[in-house]
Structure 1
């Protein structure tokens, strides 16, 4: 079995793909591949359709953010457990999601939209739900 971070990263990508398909059907989601030269050589292109590619087959460029989110979420959930917090209540879910959002901003704040740069408690519900999904999956995996 894969490590928890890798398993959660795979689940996060699958959850994103499912949401993409609900919103966009079979539309492709092409992204540039900039760092993974081995992937580019192997595939003969510097673009990847992230909507149609399994996590394990993504270039490392596109695996990296899911792995970082997975590690952060698992660390947050484990910290909350050490603090004696119940992982089954909404207040803890919101606290964990807020912590995850701060972590995400530390990695992505330079390019995030103005809405995404807001503190968690001022985010629109769809943005909050993105953080909650990650935390819920982390709780299922390691909680």
Structure 2
């Protein structure tokens, strides 16, 4: 897939290596490509991926705000929130890895983050419209 920001993203078995932070590259599943059936949707997906650093910053900001205003929403993902010692929100953010990028039939793109690359357990799911509008940020099982 060709993008402006990342050049050619090589896909191998639905996996790509995407930047998730300054100087950090992580593999991410691109299952979103399987549900996009036309050129218009593929072009929108390429634009979405071009803006991935912006979307990651949006997720980070909403997570930071949520940890300040309603930390209980994130307790299953971050059990250390229940302890008396405060864990800096930035440390919680950096403990997350971008695990997958996928879309549904409504063209909602979901970025899933797991703790330190965990395969099982709760994930932070950020649902975006293809135009980059954040629709929802939630912890899912």
TM-score by shorter chain over 0.5: no
Q: Report which of the two has the higher share of helix.
A: 1
The TM-score, its normalising length taken from structure 2, stands at 0.31
Ranked by relative contact order (alpha carbons within 8 Å, sequence separation 6 or more), the top structure is: 1
Q: Which has the larger radius of gyration?
A: 1
